[in-house]
C-alpha cells in the first residue's frame, strides 16, 4: 500500500522550522508511515544544514517537476518555492520578508491539498508578528486553513499520548471569550471532537467538557451562570445524540491523573485552559490539528523559538508526531 504524501510547510525561515524540517527528512521512522515533502526554500535549507551539521535534502523538485510527479513520489523531497534570498538573511530575526515567505509555503500547501496532490498537511511554526508585518492578518494557522479550505465548521484540537483536547474559542483576548461562547458553538466543537477521536481510537470516546468559571461556577456563585445557560444545554444535546460525555467539570481538577484515566478527550472553553496543562504534560510530543477541514492538517505545538534557531538546539519530535498523525488521519 503506498504511503500518504504529506506536505510539510517550512514555517518562518528565521525560526526553528528549517532545522526541524531537516531533522524530519533524516528520520527513518517517518519514512515508514509517510512520504514528507517540504514546502519551502531549498537554498535556505542547504544553508541551515551547513550551519547545524544536519544532512542536506537529497531530492529537490521545481514547481514544474512537482506538478508532473506529485502523486507518484515514493521518497522524501523538497518542493523549492523561490522568492526568498537565503544569503541576505539573519537566522533568529523575523521580518516582513520571513512572514511573507512562511505564508507562501502555507498557500502552496493548501493548493496542493485541495488539488489532491497531497493526503494531508503538517505545518512548522509561523511568527504572527512577522505575518502582520507582511500585511497578513490571520491570527494563526487554524483560521487560515479554515477560511482557505471553505470549512463550514472547524476547531483547534491537540492530540498527545497523555491527553486530547479541543478548544471552543482560540486566539482572542479573555474579555472576548464569554461573548464568543454559545451553546451551538460548544455543541459544534463537541461533535467535531467526538468524530475525530472516534476515528483516532477506533471506538466511541468518553468526552469531558470543562466549565468556564472557577469550580465550574458553583451553581452561579462565580460568573454569570455560563455553565447553566451555555455549557449544560450543549452537553444535554450531545447526550441526546448518543455521545458519552460529562461536565461541566471544574477546570482546576479536570486534568488530574485520576480524571485523565477516565477521559479520552476534553472540550475546553478558551486557549490557555487547554494549552497550559497540555504543554506541561506533553510539550515535545503534542500535535495541533484543525478539525472539520476537507483535508487533514496538523502542526507542531510550539512556536518559532527564534532564540535557539539554527543552533542545533531544536527538538523536532513534535513535527515528527505531527506527520505521523497526519498520515493516520489521511488513511
Separation between Cα atoms, residue 40 and residue 57, nearest integer Å: 11
Residue pLDDT, tens place only, 71-112: 889 999 999 997 777 778 899 999 999 999 999 999 999 999
Q: Do 95 and 103 form a contact (C-beta atoms < 8 A)?
A: no
Q: What is the pLDDT of residue 301?
A: 87
* Residue ranges of domains in the chain, CATH in brackets: 5-151+293-330 (3.40.718.10), 155-282 (3.40.718.10)
Where residue 202 falls (left for φ over 0; alpha for ψ -120 to 50; beta otherwise) is left
Query: Splitting the chain (331 residues) into consecutive groups of 10 residues, what average pLDDT does each group show?
Result: 93 97 96 97 96 96 94 93 81 94 97 97 97 94 94 95 96 96 98 96 98 94 95 99 98 97 99 97 91 96 95 95 94 82
Cis before 248? omega within 30: yes
Q: What is the pLDDT of residue 1?
A: 67
- Residue in 43, 78, 46, 50 with CA at minimum distance from that of residue 312: 50
Separation between Cα atoms, residue 110 and residue 118, nearest integer Å: 9
Q: Which three cell numbers stand for residue 11?
A: 514555517
Q: What is the pLDDT of residue 36?
A: 98
Separation between Cα atoms, residue 15 and residue 81, nearest integer Å: 18
Using CA atoms of 270, 126, 195, 184 in order, give the dihedral in degrees to the nearest 10.
40
Residue pLDDT, tens place only, 153-182: 999 999 999 999 999 999 999 999 999 999
Amino acid at each position: 500500500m503506498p504511503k500518504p504524501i504529506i506536505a510539510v510547510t517550512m514555517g518562518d525561515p528565521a525560526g526553528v522550522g528549517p532545522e526541524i524540517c531537516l531533522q524530519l527528512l533524516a528520520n527513518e521512522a517517518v519514512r515508514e508511515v509517510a512520504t514528507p515533502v517540504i514546502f519551502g526554500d531549498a537554498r535556505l535549507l542547504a544553508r541551515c544544514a551547513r550551519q547545524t551539521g544536519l544532512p542536506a535534502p537529497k531530492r529537490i523538485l521545481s514547481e514544474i517537476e512537482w506538478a508532473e510527479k506529485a502523486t507518484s513520489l515514493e521518497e522524501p523531497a523538497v518542493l523549492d518555492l523561490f522568492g526568498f534570498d537565503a544569503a541576505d538573511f539573519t537566522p533568529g530575526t523575523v521580518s516582513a520578508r520571513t512572514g511573507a515567505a512562511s505564508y507562501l509555503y502555507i498557500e502552496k500547501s493548501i493548493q496542493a491539498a485541495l488539488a489532491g496532490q497531497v493526503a494531508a498537511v503538517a505545518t512548522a511554526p509561523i511568527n504572527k508578528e512577522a505575518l502582520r508585518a507582511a500585511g497578513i492578518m490571520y491570527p494563526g494557522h487554524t483560521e487560515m486553513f479554515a477560511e482557505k479550505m471553505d470549512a463550514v465548521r472547524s476547531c483547534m484540537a491537540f492530540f498527545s499520548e497523555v491527553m486530547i483536547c479541543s478548544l471552543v474559542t482560540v486566539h482572542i483576548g479573555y474579555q472576548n471569550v464569554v461573548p464568543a461562547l454559545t451553546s451551538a458553538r460548544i455543541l459544534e466543537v463537541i461533535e467535531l471532537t467526538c468524530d475525530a477521536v472516534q476515528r483516532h481510537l477506533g471506538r466511541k470516546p468518553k468526552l469531558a467538557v470543562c466549565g468556564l468559571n472557577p469550580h465550574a461556577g458553583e451553581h452561579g456563585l462565580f460568573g454569570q451562570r455560563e455553565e447553566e445557560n451555555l455549557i449544560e444545554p450543549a452537553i444535554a444535546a450531545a447526550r441526546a445524540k448518543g455521545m458519552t460525555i460529562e461536565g461541566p467539570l471544574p477546570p482546576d481538577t479536570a486534568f488530574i491523573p485520576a480524571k485523565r484515566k477516565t477521559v479520552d478527550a476534553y472540550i475546553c472553553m478558551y486557549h490557555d485552559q487547554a494549552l497550559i496543562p497540555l504543554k506541561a504534560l506533553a510539550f515535545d510530543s503534542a500535535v495541533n490539528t484543525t478539525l472539520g477541514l476537507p483535508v487533514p492538517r496538523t502542526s507542531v505545538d510550539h512556536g518559532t523559538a527564534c532564540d535557539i534557531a539554527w543552533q542545533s538546539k531544536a527538538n523536532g519530535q513534535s513535527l515528527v508526531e505531527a506527520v505521523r498523525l497526519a498520515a493516520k488521519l489521511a488513511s
